[in-house]
Structure 1
Amino acid sequence: MDALELLLTRRSNKKLVAPAPQGEQLDNILQAALHAPDHGRLTPYRFVIIEKQGQDVLEQLLQSAVEELNQGEERKKKATDVSHRAPMIIAVIAKINNEIGKVPGWEQMLTAGCATYAMQLAANAQGFDNVWVSGPWIDGSELRQAFGCEAQDKVIALLMLGTAEQKLEKAKIHDVSPYVSYL
């Protein structure tokens, strides 16, 4: 698949099964993240890879966040689903340093987002599907502690990776005119 086709056909897929990327495939995904646009070469992100027993730990952390943030029983059930939705989950933590005047915090956050998207594209290019999950539970204090977050850090993604359980419909081509203007 060439780069343009990948960009025009990428879609999120929530139905993921084993296998997940391993070895060189996983390294390619992480390398892609490290090539995201990065003003000041700050690399303002890091990753926590969650597999197997780690998913049980993630489930407990998400359920703790649901309780801490008073999100209700329905969200607690969803925490179980999210924790085991894919054979691999990569948590992406934006490491924001607001002391760098040249590169404001919002730009560092965008860099972490670009790194996440680069991982999605690299996974797709190697035949894996994925979905980027977030939600209020990513602010749970036990989850943040388990991920080694400092006060200014922000968990921006739980990137689910695996093999598509079923292939999705072909991505449609959109009319771009409502989103574009010229100066």
Structure 2
Amino acid sequence: MKTLDLLQLRRSSKKFGTKAPNQEQLDTIFKAALRVPDHGHLKPYQFFVIEQAQLATFEQHLNSAVIEFNLGEDGVKKAKKISSQAPMIIAVVAKITKDLPKVPAWEQMLTAGCATYAIQLAANSLGFETCWITNKWVNGSALRQALNCQEFDKIVALLMIGSPEEENEITLASQAEDISGFVHYLK
């Protein structure tokens, strides 16, 4: 697929097959993520790969968030679904350095977000479906501890990744978005 086609037609999907990226594919994906815009060359992010064998432990961390945030029985069901939906999850943690006059915290967060999107695009280009989720899960104490989060760090994404469920092609939008109303020119 051509790069511009992917950029204009990509979309998230929660319909995953059983295959996850192998080590060579993961290396390619992470190399793409390391090339995002990064003022100060801080690389203010870390990536945590949660493979099939660790998904039960990941579910336990989500269930801890269910209790911590009083998410009830619906939260338990959602934790089960999230932890079993895709064969791999990549957590992206923004490693924020406070009090840098030239690179404020918000800019570091944007860089971590860009890295997450680069992971999605690279995975899509390799034929994998992706879906970026957050919600209260990313603030759970157990998950933050498991991902070595410090006080100012923020889990910016739980990125589900896997092969397409039924077809050999990833899910794409049928057409590019209409840009009307979004693009303006300074006068």
TM-score, length basis structure 2: 0.94
Residue number in structure 2 paired with 1:175: 178
Tell me the CA shift for residue 166 of structure 1. Answer: 3.5
SS in 2 for 1:17: coil
Residue number in structure 2 paired with 1:152: 152
Is 1:9–1:171's contact at 8 Å kept on the other side of the alignment? yes
Q: Which ranges in structure 2 are unaligned for 5 or more consecutive residues?
A: none
Note if 1:71 corresponds to 2:71. Answer: yes
Q: Deviations over 1:111-153 (max 9, x none)?
A: 0000000010001111111100111121011110011100000
Higher mean alpha-carbon deviation, 18-27 vs 88-97, is at 18-27
Q: Matches of 2:18 and 2:74 in 1, distance apart?
A: 27
Is 1:16–1:161's contact at 8 Å kept on the other side of the alignment? yes
Q: Deviations over 1:3-35 (max 9, x none)?
A: 101101111010112211112111010111100
Matches within 5 A, 1:16-165: 16-165=16-165
Q: Matches of 2:148 and 2:124 in 1, distance apart?
A: 28
Tell me the CA shift for residue 43 of structure 1. Answer: 0.3
Tell me the CA shift for residue 172 of structure 1. Answer: 2.4
Report % sequence identity. 54
Q: Matches of 1:32 and 1:122 in 2, distance apart?
A: 7
SS in 1 for 2:163: strand
Alignment: residue pair count: 183
Q: Specify the code of the residue in structure 1 equivalent to 2:77.
A: K
CA distance 1:105–1:169, change in 2 (3 Å) = closer
CA distance 1:169–1:21, change in 2 (3 Å) = closer
Q: Deviations over 1:24-63 (max 9, x none)?
A: 1110101111001100000000011001221000100001
Q: Matches of 1:174 and 1:49 in 2, distance apart?
A: 32
Q: Which ranges in structure 1 are unaligned for 5 or more consecutive residues?
A: none
Q: Specify the code of the residue in structure 1 equivalent to 2:183.
A: V
Is 2:16–2:129's contact at 8 Å kept on the other side of the alignment? yes
SS in 1 for 2:161: strand
Is 2:96–2:108's contact at 8 Å kept on the other side of the alignment? yes
